[in-house]
């Protein structure tokens, strides 16, 4: 099973989309010998300014990918990122009002509730909740064009299950940018009611979802040097309880791997965190030392192999990105390996895992992520 994980695409023009697609297709076909994709994960920032022209370029790119790699709209999991929030629409959702005239939705000490109003001293910018949701409208229209279903603007519905019964796979798409706008650029979070709704659905339908391999996708990281990360990570506890074993995100513009542990014992519940680098950000937005990147994941039995690719020249070819260290005196590799839950009920026996010079087992107890 082949899973293409792209993030932070930052589409601009149709010309960019055509060039980027050609470069990607050449790498998949010639270098990775991948002629068919089974799933596409886009973990946010599809556009750069969340305007229709950028989503039209993204649509061009995805249509080409579907045609050549036998991918259907049902095999795409797409979530929004902070660049999929249209700030112009967000600004128009706020109305200035004199502070002395504003009496609604007051928080502590009589101050305006920051979820609905921005206190600027003598004046307050008051949010119209209905207009405010429209800042995801361009993304929703793009999502509908690609998948055939509109992306819901109600926050409590922005948790979407994608079930692939023939693959025994369940993927949950979440919106970590639902509270962001031009005032709050780093208020990333997962809506608790949206999460509760889908977890209830999973729990109440064990005959449908009970034995599925479970993945989750959102945009923002759990950890970051800045403040633009999901500060309330308690939602991870609920995902772990429900059996989610891997999560995909982007935003930091560099490939990264991490491990969330819910139980401390050797065979306890855990989730591997897989971050893709930026696929198409302008060079000024590249993280220092990190070029453009994407991940191709292969599921082989109970192993998930993550191939990391990089492109250092805007018009160059994709190449292996050997960034995953293997220990003192050993060369880093452009791939690492995760043992899926079926193989982690007991401590893995390395003698039973085929010897390869291309893998690294992220969740062998006692070993660090890298």
CATH code at position 148: 3.60.21.10
Residue 102 lies in a domain: yes
CA atoms of 144 and 152, how far apart (whole Å) = 10
CA atoms of 112 and 129, how far apart (whole Å) = 15
pLDDT at 360 > cutoff 70: no
Q: How many structural domains does the chain have?
A: 2
Judgement on whether residues 73 and 29 belong to the same structural domain of the protein:
yes
- Give the per-residue pLDDT at 350: 33
pLDDT digits (tens, 9 = 90+) for 258-283: 999 999 998 899 999 999 999 998 87
- Give the per-residue pLDDT at 231: 93
Q: How confident is the model at residue 354 (pLDDT cuts 50, 70, 90)?
A: very low
Residue ranges in 177-331 assigned as alpha helix (H): 192-204, 206-209, 235-241
Judgement on whether residues 291 and 224 belong to the same structural domain of the protein:
yes
Judgement on whether residues 77 and 109 belong to the same structural domain of the protein:
no
DSSP, collapsed to helix, strand or coil, labels residue 193 as: helix
Judgement on whether residues 259 and 307 belong to the same structural domain of the protein:
yes
pTM of the model: 0.89
Q: How far is CA 150 from CA 40, 74, 155, 201, 220, in A?
A: 18, 13, 13, 20, 22
From 127, 152, 186, the end of a domain falls on: 127
What's the whole-number average pLDDT of the chain?
89
Judgement on whether residues 113 and 247 belong to the same structural domain of the protein:
no
Range of the domain at 64: 2-85+134-352
From 70, 105, 127, the end of a domain falls on: 127
What is the three-state SS of 120-182? ECCEEEEECHHHHHHHHHHHHHHHHHHHCCCCCCCHHHCEEEEEEHHHCEEEEEECCCCCCCC
Judgement on whether residues 99 and 220 belong to the same structural domain of the protein:
no
Residue 370 lies in a domain: no
Judgement on whether residues 185 and 104 belong to the same structural domain of the protein:
no
Judgement on whether residues 172 and 316 belong to the same structural domain of the protein:
yes
Judgement on whether residues 191 and 339 belong to the same structural domain of the protein:
yes
pLDDT digits (tens, 9 = 90+) for 305-317: 999 999 999 899 9
- Give the per-residue pLDDT at 3: 98
Tokens of 311: 């492109």
pLDDT digits (tens, 9 = 90+) for 62-109: 999 999 999 999 999 999 999 999 999 999 999 988 877 776 666 566
Judgement on whether residues 154 and 123 belong to the same structural domain of the protein:
no
Closest to 66 measured CA to CA, from 42, 45, 49, 48: 42
């Amino acid at each position: 099973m082949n899973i293409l994980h792209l993030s932070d695409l930052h589409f601009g023009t149709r010309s960019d989309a055509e060039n980027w697609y050609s470069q990607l297709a050449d790498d998949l076909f010639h270098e990775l010998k991948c002629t068919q994709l089974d799933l596409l994960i886009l973990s946010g920032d599809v556009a750069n300014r969340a305007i229709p022209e950028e989503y039209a370029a993204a649509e061009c790119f995805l249509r080409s990918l579907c045609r050549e790699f036998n991918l259907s709209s049902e095999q795409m999991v797409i979530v929004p990122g902070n660049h999929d929030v249209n700030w112009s629409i967000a600004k128009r959702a706020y109305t200035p009002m004199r502070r002395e005239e504003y009496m609604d939705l007051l928080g502590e000490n009589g101050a305006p509730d920051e979820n609905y109003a921005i206190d600027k001293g003598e004046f307050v910018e008051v949010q119209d909740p209905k207009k405010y949701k429209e800042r995801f409208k361009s993304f929703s229209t793009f999502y509908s064009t690609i998948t055939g279903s509109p992306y819901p603007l109600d926050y409590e519905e922005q948790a979407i299950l994608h079930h692939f019964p023939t693959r025994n796979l369940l993927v949950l798409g979440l919106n970590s940018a639902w509270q962001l706008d031009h005032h709050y650029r780093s208020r990333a979070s997962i809506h608790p009611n949206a999460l509760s709704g889908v977890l209830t659905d999973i729990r109440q339908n064990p005959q449908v979802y009970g034995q599925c391999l479970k993945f989750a996708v959102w945009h923002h990281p759990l950890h970051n040097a800045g403040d633009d990360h999901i500060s309330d990570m308690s939602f991870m506890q609920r995902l772990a309880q429900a059996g989610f074993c891997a999560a995909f995100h982007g935003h930091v513009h560099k490939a990264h791997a991490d491990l969330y542990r819910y139980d401390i014992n050797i065979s306890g519940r855990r989730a591997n965190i897989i971050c893709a680098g930026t696929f198409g950000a302008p060079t000024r937005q590249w993280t220092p030392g990190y070029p453009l990147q994407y991940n191709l994941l292969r599921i082989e039995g109970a192993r998930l192999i993550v191939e990391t690719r990089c492109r250092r020249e805007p018009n160059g070819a994709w190449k292996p990105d050997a960034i995953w260290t293997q220990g003192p005196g050993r060369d880093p590799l452009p791939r690492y390996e995760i043992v899926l839950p079926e193989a982690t009920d007991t401590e893995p026996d390395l003698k039973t895992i085929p010897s390869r010079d291309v893998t690294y087992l992220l969740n062998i107890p006692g070993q660090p992520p890298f």
